[in-house]
Structure 1
Amino acid sequence: MRMTLSDLLVATGAVGDVGERGNPVIESVRIDSRAASAGSLFVCIPGARLDGHHFAAEAVAKGAAAVLADRPLAGLPEGTPVLLVRDTVAALGKLARAWRERVGAKLVAVSGSAGKTTVKELTAAILAKAGPTAKNYKNFNNKIGLPLSMLEAGEADLTWVMELGISAPGEMEPLAAIAAPDVAVIHNVGPAHLEALGDVAGVATEKCKLFAALRPGGTALASLDYPELWAAAKAVCPGVVALSTKGGPAPYRAKYLGAISEGRGRFFLRLDDLEMEVVTPLTGGHFAENILAAAAAARILGATEDHIASGLATAVMPEQRFFCRRHGNYTLIDDTYNANPLSMRRAIAAAAETAQGRPLVLVLGEMREMGHHAESEHGRMGEVAAGSGARAIFYHGAHAEAVGEGLSRKGFSGIFAVVDSPDAFLATLAGTGLGGGVFLFKGSRSMHMEHYLAALTQSIQKDATA
């Protein structure tokens, strides 16, 4: 970002004491006082545990050129510009929208219940082959993360790829208004955040509010394979363009052609009038819709066949999202970032395909925010796990009995163990006699299944050097 103080005043509608420092250029926005630097704007974000207003003086001491706050501040150096607004989070969004209008880059907005970050990364990888491209840092996709990501984009960037995440009614509309996308894609919906959104139809209805914020002439893309999503999309945007990986009558289609090596797969794409095969660092049929969403969005913005093939082939997947590592006889799959029933089913299926006859071990954590669906969804998780051919299943969290009942319904005869710590997991694993294979680690973010992965990794490395 590069805007003057007066630009910020106009964009946010702020009032107050702007100090005696003229009209300095603001080159970055920070919400953490420890990251403040010369030429930055420090935005005071109020919170239940920490209130950014209490750290404004520290930010200014580190070089922040101005402060955005919702109240007068004491203890700042004389002459410090303080921009006052009613709501600093809302003002942050207004500032991001103003920067987006100034730069004029084409923006792709991505949402869905499972794989949003993967779609974002793949889309950005393709568009980066055509020119400078900005994207969210990791999954900075909420009412604070989205504007911060947009404000980090450079003036020379031709395209921005922004992931939008919601978990409750009323969250998508303000996010979508900030992004004002040229292309918006929703590649799936599933039973995620049901505690707040009720059911899959509720998820679809909230997500499809994204389409109402399209810029004039913009394109909405949605998967025809999810009836609730397609119905909600048509209600908001009758001209929505269909995606399908199940052979539906859609101009954009994809099919998984199989694995060619561990961690790499072949896919067929039909992108309106273009047909092509691509190789990606992803294996498993469920990744077809992620790859299709990315390729379709990029194609609409002018990506060529070469851009698409090269971008998908060289894309680097972030850690904690089906990230595979080899350690001797072990293949460890890190899918620990988060989990809901849709992403859990897909991860288990992909892990089973990766195993290809080798022992499969599932180390799973509770799926949270399921509301009154929690028991039934964890029972279904047990059924899916039983059908994977896993030799052993370790489970951490609530609803373990429901998982066990699901396993029993499908006749699971392997090892099922409930563990409450990484140490307990290692101790139980040691008694199974499993000395290798494919291990999938997955659960909701708050379950910290990465600690279980780290414990096994350290144990393998220790044994290798003993």
Structure 2
Amino acid sequence: MTKVEQIARWCQGEWLAVADKDAALTELCIDSRNIEDPATTLFIALRSPMRDGHGFIADAWQRGVRNFLISHPIDTLPQDSNVILVKDTLAALQQVAAAHRKQFHIPVIGITGSNGKTIVKEWLAALLSEDRSIVRSPRSYNSQIGVPLSVWLMAPEHQLAIFEAGISQPGEMEKLERIIHPDIGIFTNIGEAHSEGFLNTRQKINEKLILFRHVKQLVYCSDQVQLHECIVQYTHALRGNDSSSGIQLFTWSRRQAADLQVTHTHSTNGKTTIQALYDGSEIQVTIPFTDEASVENAIHCWCTLLLLSVPQNDIRERMMGLQPISMRMEIKHGINDSTLINDTYNSDLTSLQLALNYLGQQRQHSYHTVIMSDILQPGKRDLDLYDEVAEYMSRRNVQRFIGIGPALYKNKASFRKYKQLRSIFFRSTEHFLKNFHMLSFDKEAILLKGARAFTFEKISVLLEQKVHQTVMSIDLSALRHNLDVYRSLLRPGVRTMAMVKAFAYGSGSYEIANLLQYAGIDYLAVAYTDEGVALRRAGIKVPIMVMSPDATSFDRMIAWKLEPELYNFRSFDAFTAIAATLQVSQYPVHIKLDTGMHRLGFNAADMDALAERIAAQPGIKVASIFSHLAASDDAAQDDFTRQQAAAFDTMSGKLVQHLPYTPIRHLCNTAGIARHTSLQYDMVRLGLGLYGIDSSASLQGRLRQVSTLRTSIAQVRHVPAGDSIGYGHHTIAPRDMRIATICIGYADGYPRSLGNGKAHVIINGRPAPTVGSICMDMCMTDITDIPGVAEGDEAIVFGQDLAVTQLASWAGTIPYEIMTGISQRVKRVYTNGE
């Protein structure tokens, strides 16, 4: 174990307080909410434009942490603690990880590139785990923070390490190379992802190549011309005049001679056979995928296995067993009002900790269940392993644990010693399925965590709520990313209110609100009282403003601690009367001003009378004064926006003069945050930008798509030229056509105006135009020129490759209408890659 004294020496820190320099550390923590074992945790107070970790030192201390790394003195040092001061806590974290890495002399694989890093890492871990105990980056931990946290996981029992590294600007890879210091390198490919910080593609390649300056071997595809040229130049520069030293290049190619020369690929029935020449012999593998990205990722893995001298027979067998890798935990609606967290693409202690962290965030359910398989992790005694797992469950307040597999069944005693943990065990997945009817799942959060070999997808089918086969998936990590983009634009101290009205713009109220609450949002806003009550019932504690309160529900608002928007004297008088009846005092309300939009709000002429009424009402306290910008996204309307701001200053100023306290003021909506930074006041309101859409277009390149709407093909049919298609006998096939009928219609929120070729969906990566009228539950698409389409295949309605803004443009409307119009019968699935 590493001692605190060692940490201080590695990062050249200054001791501010000493309790026990010999205290052993096993965990590095940067988030006080995710502390596993406080006694052996070092809390590192990182600073960022959005948040200062020093503000959470007291919280970490309350949770039992007694070891701290800080970058500036604090008013009150935590008692009985070790406190180390450094200039920069991020730099210190990286120094600690680099020093930790030097203690190990096992092969380390470093992976970089524009795409495929995480897939290649996970596949390599799966392909090599039968022979070696492997440590790897959790999920896509490849950043300046993620890499050191990944490398810290290296332990004496590991025999191989696999880490990925990603950068967004020059200078970053040099820091990551010192931490990872790989022996074998893999450069997956080069593309446009994260290109904003670089002058051109060559600069980006050369920056990424810094990761490999000390590797012995480097795997890449020599068909990528710029990449190949840069690598050759880079290796020559490293070699200098010594021809006997340098990096051994292991290339693969479809076009020219290479270490692995791919001669033929053939795809059929969901599989691809790849034939190649290697070391003078013909070899081949078959993988259970047909898409080009998976083929490329698999070939990178194949090269690495050859480099590691894995026997050909083992390679063929293992490659055929590759599985799709879900990059994110899926959150689905389960049976009997449960929430199902499906995280079954891997099974190890690190990913288990991440999954348990996420389970702990599901506050809408007080009862938490974990269904877990044996952990297939060589190098650790079963008894020690499952003692550790059982301790995790107890520490995370899991109420029920269901263990599946012979090792868990054998080690029941590890769990039974925790009396508050109800534990049930099954020898196999089949044993569980046979006894499923004897178990009850009701209004609880269920984490499904299993190794691929245990086929937990069979369990997932039983636990999922059976709903419409059209699905909208919401990427919660993308939403968090977008929140951080907008937070980075705020002046210090400016708070954030997030709009979750209209079912969170169609994305699902509780799931979005829960993530925002966890991310530290200051306020939420809903349209109606019922929306706010539903969030409170689900465990949302953050302040909630109701923007369109009904006077008949004011008593319910007070009962559920919801804060009303008051926009005229009628609403003001109605609420203050209810407040008096219920004998509440200083209840928070929000005063809406009309500064020119003319929708809702008090007028300028109302200010004096309003100030008098507020002063005469001890039952209320003005939490905020706000107005709404009508055209903040339009540069041509900036003069009008300035007029609105001036009116807001004058009107709100009159009210503030009459108050014995200073309420929050807010004016900026999403577009205003980026375009009118001087109008941020005390708080901003963030709406559609959270979901990856910037109506001003100034930030669109930095935002990530949050929602993907997909459906399936119900039927494929041939339609002869001259036959009609769809309702009305209006659409006549101009040629012999192949038509795919997909399971989405206007009852699902797909606008009827998009029929007759005005829009397309994506099938097998290609556009399939609509044909005929959009029906209530179905629509027809033209797949005549798309080969290999089969019934049951997926159709993307909007997503990464077909933006919802494009759909809105085709429909002659705005993205808000498309997103909020997606029917409640469409299943929502939530993914989280954090």
Indicate the SS of the match to 1:414: strand
Which structure dedicates a bigger proportion of its chain to helix?
1
Residue 326 of structure 2: which of 314, 319, 328 is its match? Answer: 319
Contact between 1:107 and 1:182, CA under 8 Å: does it hold in 2? yes
Question: Residues 179 and 67 (structure 1 numbering): CA distance in 2 closer, same or farther, change over 3 Å?
Answer: same
| Counterpart residue identity of residue 290, structure 2 | T
Q: Is residue 800 of structure 2 the alignment partner of residue 443 of structure 1?
A: yes
Q: Is residue 300 of structure 2 the alignment partner of residue 293 of structure 1?
A: yes
User: Counterparts of 2:775 and 2:89 in 1: how far apart (Å)?
Assistant: 49
TM-superposed deviation, 1:198: 3.5
Contact between 2:15 and 2:84, CA under 8 Å: does it hold in 1? yes
Q: Deviations over 1:65-109 (max 9, x none)?
A: 411111123444323111221111111112112221112221101
Q: 1:164 corresponds to which residue? A: 165
Question: Residues 45 and 316 (structure 1 numbering): CA distance in 2 closer, same or farther, change over 3 Å?
Answer: farther
Question: Residues 172 and 273 (structure 1 numbering): CA distance in 2 closer, same or farther, change over 3 Å?
Answer: farther
User: Counterparts of 1:183 and 1:80 in 2: how far apart (Å)?
Assistant: 41
Q: Report which stretch shifted further, 269-278 or 182-191.
A: 269-278
User: Counterparts of 1:155 and 1:209 in 2: how far apart (Å)?
Assistant: 27
Indicate the SS of the match to 1:243: strand
Indicate the SS of the match to 2:795: strand
TM-superposed deviation, 1:281: 3.8
Q: Report which stretch shifted further, 24-33 or 186-195.
A: 186-195
Indicate the SS of the match to 1:241: strand
Contact between 2:741 and 2:780, CA under 8 Å: does it hold in 1? no
| Counterpart residue identity of residue 59, structure 1 | A
Q: 2:224 corresponds to which residue? A: 226
Q: 2:181 corresponds to which residue? A: 180
Contact between 2:217 and 2:250, CA under 8 Å: does it hold in 1? no
Q: 1:95 corresponds to which residue? A: 96
Contact between 1:330 and 1:439, CA under 8 Å: does it hold in 2? no
Q: Deviations over 1:185-220 (max 9, x none)?
A: 1121122223222432232222222222x25xx112
Contact between 2:252 and 2:261, CA under 8 Å: does it hold in 1? yes
TM-superposed deviation, 1:266: 2.9
TM-superposed deviation, 1:174: 1.2
Q: Is residue 772 of structure 2 the alignment partner of residue 414 of structure 1?
A: no
Contact between 2:185 and 2:212, CA under 8 Å: does it hold in 1? yes
1:72-91 aligned within 5 A: 72-91=73-92
TM-superposed deviation, 1:25: 0.9
Contact between 1:28 and 1:40, CA under 8 Å: does it hold in 2? yes
- The total of aligned residue pairs comes to 387
| Counterpart residue identity of residue 284, structure 2 | E
| Counterpart residue identity of residue 438, structure 1 | E
User: Counterparts of 1:168 and 1:115 in 2: how far apart (Å)?
Assistant: 19
Contact between 1:331 and 1:439, CA under 8 Å: does it hold in 2? no
User: Counterparts of 1:174 and 1:405 in 2: how far apart (Å)?
Assistant: 47
TM-superposed deviation, 1:270: 4.6
Q: 1:192 corresponds to which residue? A: 193
Q: 2:6 corresponds to which residue? A: 7
User: Counterparts of 2:10 and 2:94 in 1: how far apart (Å)?
Assistant: 10
Q: Deviations over 1:146-193 (max 9, x none)?
A: 111111233211111111111222222211221110001112112222
Report the RMSD for the aligned CA atoms in angstroms. 4.4
Q: Deviations over 1:268-288 (max 9, x none)?
A: 355546753333343223433
User: Counterparts of 1:458 and 1:270 in 2: how far apart (Å)?
Assistant: 52
Contact between 1:115 and 1:290, CA under 8 Å: does it hold in 2? yes
TM-superposed deviation, 1:240: 5.0
TM, length-normalised to structure 1: 0.70
Question: Residues 150 and 316 (structure 1 numbering): CA distance in 2 closer, same or farther, change over 3 Å?
Answer: farther
Q: Deviations over 1:8-57 (max 9, x none)?
A: 12222222235122401101111111112221111111112221111122
| Counterpart residue identity of residue 414, structure 1 | P
Q: 2:388 corresponds to which residue? A: none
Contact between 2:760 and 2:769, CA under 8 Å: does it hold in 1? no
Indicate the SS of the match to 1:6: helix
1:376-387 aligned within 5 A: none
Q: Is residue 65 of structure 2 the alignment partner of residue 64 of structure 1?
A: yes
User: Counterparts of 2:224 and 2:779 in 1: how far apart (Å)?
Assistant: 40
Q: Is residue 342 of structure 2 the alignment partner of residue 309 of structure 1?
A: no
TM-superposed deviation, 1:248: 2.1
| Counterpart residue identity of residue 779, structure 2 | T
Indicate the SS of the match to 1:35: coil
Q: Is residue 235 of structure 2 the alignment partner of residue 237 of structure 1?
A: yes
Residue 257 of structure 1: which of 251, 262, 265 is its match? Answer: 265
| Counterpart residue identity of residue 40, structure 2 | G
Q: 2:116 corresponds to which residue? A: 115
Q: 1:50 corresponds to which residue? A: 51
TM-superposed deviation, 1:236: 1.6
Contact between 1:320 and 1:334, CA under 8 Å: does it hold in 2? no
TM-superposed deviation, 1:260: 4.6
Question: Residues 163 and 428 (structure 1 numbering): CA distance in 2 closer, same or farther, change over 3 Å?
Answer: farther
Unaligned runs of at least 5 residues, structure 2 = 237-246, 331-344, 346-456, 479-691, 702-738, 745-757, 782-790, 806-817, 830-834
TM-superposed deviation, 1:391: 9.0
| Counterpart residue identity of residue 27, structure 1 | T
User: Counterparts of 1:180 and 1:55 in 2: how far apart (Å)?
Assistant: 32
User: Counterparts of 2:40 and 2:804 in 1: how far apart (Å)?
Assistant: 39
Q: Deviations over 1:381-408 (max 9, x none)?
A: xxxxxxxx99999xxxxxxxxxx9999x
TM-superposed deviation, 1:456: 8.8
TM-superposed deviation, 1:304: 3.1
Q: 2:826 corresponds to which residue? A: 459
User: Counterparts of 2:163 and 2:20 in 1: how far apart (Å)?
Assistant: 34
Q: Report which stretch shifted further, 327-336 or 308-317.
A: 327-336
User: Counterparts of 2:194 and 2:185 in 1: how far apart (Å)?
Assistant: 21
Q: 2:779 corresponds to which residue? A: 432
User: Counterparts of 1:229 and 1:274 in 2: how far apart (Å)?
Assistant: 27
TM-superposed deviation, 1:265: 3.2
User: Counterparts of 2:298 and 2:230 in 1: how far apart (Å)?
Assistant: 22
Question: Residues 153 and 135 (structure 1 numbering): CA distance in 2 closer, same or farther, change over 3 Å?
Answer: same
Q: 1:267 corresponds to which residue? A: 274
Contact between 1:319 and 1:334, CA under 8 Å: does it hold in 2? no
Contact between 1:30 and 1:40, CA under 8 Å: does it hold in 2? yes
User: Counterparts of 2:281 and 2:83 in 1: how far apart (Å)?
Assistant: 54
User: Counterparts of 2:161 and 2:776 in 1: how far apart (Å)?
Assistant: 45
Question: Residues 179 and 413 (structure 1 numbering): CA distance in 2 closer, same or farther, change over 3 Å?
Answer: closer
Q: Deviations over 1:235-269 (max 9, x none)?
A: 2213451423423221024466334544x433335
Q: 2:484 corresponds to which residue? A: none
Question: Residues 64 and 391 (structure 1 numbering): CA distance in 2 closer, same or farther, change over 3 Å?
Answer: same
| Counterpart residue identity of residue 13, structure 1 | Q
Indicate the SS of the match to 2:123: helix
Q: 1:396 corresponds to which residue? A: none
Contact between 1:254 and 1:292, CA under 8 Å: does it hold in 2? no
| Counterpart residue identity of residue 101, structure 1 | K
Question: Residues 108 and 284 (structure 1 numbering): CA distance in 2 closer, same or farther, change over 3 Å?
Answer: same
| Counterpart residue identity of residue 769, structure 2 | G
User: Counterparts of 2:184 and 2:472 in 1: how far apart (Å)?
Assistant: 32
| Counterpart residue identity of residue 236, structure 1 | Y
Contact between 1:251 and 1:272, CA under 8 Å: does it hold in 2? yes
Instruction: Flag the structure with more relative contact order, 1 or 2, with Cα contacts below 8 A and sequence separation at least 6.
Output: 1
User: Counterparts of 1:226 and 1:333 in 2: how far apart (Å)?
Assistant: 35
Question: Residues 22 and 164 (structure 1 numbering): CA distance in 2 closer, same or farther, change over 3 Å?
Answer: closer
User: Counterparts of 2:775 and 2:18 in 1: how far apart (Å)?
Assistant: 64
1:342-361 aligned within 5 A: none
Q: 2:585 corresponds to which residue? A: none
Unaligned runs of at least 5 residues, structure 1 = 339-364, 375-388, 394-403, 417-426
